[in-house]
Amino acid sequence: MAHERFQTVESQLNWNAPMFRLYEKAKKNYWNPADIDFSQDREDFQKMSADDKMFSLPLVGAFSAGEEAVTLDILPMLEVMARQGRLEDTLFLTTFLHDEAKHTEMFSRWQTAVGVADMDLHSFHDDNYKRVFYDELPEKMDRLKTDDSPEAVIKAATVYNMIVEGTLAESGYHAFRQTFKDAGKMPGILEGIDLLNRDEGRHLQFGIFTIQRLVAGNDHLLKVFHDYMDELAPYAFGFVDYLTGLFEESKKQEWTNMTLSIDPNMMKDYARNQFSIRKSKIDRARKYESADELEAAATKQ
């Protein structure tokens, strides 16, 4: 598409725009996966029983593939914001893509450090996981290449930001902390998780604001959001149930040598609470009659 005008030539960037403020935060919070020391993780992993290792790997397999998927699939969102002339959003999304690349690198470095780099972890991806990451995520993001409609953007941001990042990843961070922090193990990956979580906080703000501005003053689009969240809920919760089920099944084995632990019911409740929080954040847009009103209020904050 040929350019006709340039925002920064005839005016300036909107320094107070929510997305520009996120861009500023991203620039100030740079970190390098190569700087994380995984030497203690390697020692901890080598000392683990085979049962504890197998308990750890499904969550790692989910995150490794998940971070790779969102890295590969985010570009259409950047492209649609650029086509729509949302320059501040586009600036932020350049940092968003860089974040996801670092997250992919971090997990790959950890797998190499502890000695499981060549282990195929696809077997831990159940049908629920595949529905979200193999099908829905790439499908809804790819649609943005040819469809700039509010419905398309809402569904893409919903599966990417509200489900993948806001429900599953947030629950995964909690699981890592509950498992390894309580056991006093894996300080490297816990450091990485905290850094990822900080990045994802900005990503969630992008997704929330993007959906909010589209549904503000539009009950039909708000229903599109809620309906799609409810459509994806069984798969998101199903994968959490699958992961906790693996732990419960292992604990039933008479000769298990597991020392790591997690509360399955707590994890299930945590995931469902994160899902509800994402819905409630979008519902806050109800008090605005239009996207312009919402954006003006956000700019003043």
| Region of residue 217 (phi > 0: left; psi between -120 and 50: alpha; otherwise: beta) | left
In contact, 66 and 137? CB cutoff 8 Å: no
- Counting every residue written for the chain, the total comes to 301
So where are the chain's domains? Answer: 38-289
Q: Which two tokens stand for residue 233?
A: 């809920």
B/e letters for 37-64, b = 16+ CB within 10 Å, e = fewer, are ebeebbebbeebeebbbebbbbbbbbbb
What CATH homologous superfamily does 38-289 map to? Ribonucleotide Reductase, subunit A (1.10.620.20)
**Cα distances (Å, whole numbers) of residue 63 to 70, 156, 164:** 10, 19, 10
- Express each pLDDT in 11-36 by its tens digit: 889 999 999 999 999 999 899 999 99
In contact, 78 and 97? CB cutoff 8 Å: yes
Amino acid code (one letter) for 265: N
In contact, 160 and 77? CB cutoff 8 Å: yes
User: DSSP states of 10-33 as a string?
Assistant: HS---TTSHHHHHHHHHHHS---G
- Express each pLDDT in 109-160 by its tens digit: 999 999 999 999 999 999 999 999 999 999 999 999 999 999 999 999 999 9
Q: Is the pLDDT of residue 55 over 90?
A: no
- Express each pLDDT in 200-217 by its tens digit: 999 999 999 999 999 999
- Read off the pLDDT of each residue in 92-98 and give the average, rounded to a whole number: 97
| Region of residue 115 (phi > 0: left; psi between -120 and 50: alpha; otherwise: beta) | left
pLDDT band with cut points at 50, 70 and 90 for residue 8: confident
pLDDT (0 to 100) of residue 256? 66
**Cα distances (Å, whole numbers) of residue 32 to 22, 98, 109, 192:** 19, 11, 11, 10
pLDDT (0 to 100) of residue 251? 67
C-alpha 231/C-alpha 269 separation (Å) is 19
pLDDT band with cut points at 50, 70 and 90 for residue 102: very high
Q: Which two tokens stand for residue 92?
A: 């932020």
pLDDT (0 to 100) of residue 221? 98
The pTM score is: 0.94
* Spatial CB neighbours of 292, under 8 Å, sequence gap ≥ 6: none
C-alpha 240/C-alpha 248 separation (Å) is 12
Amino acid code (one letter) for 165: E
pLDDT (0 to 100) of residue 166? 97
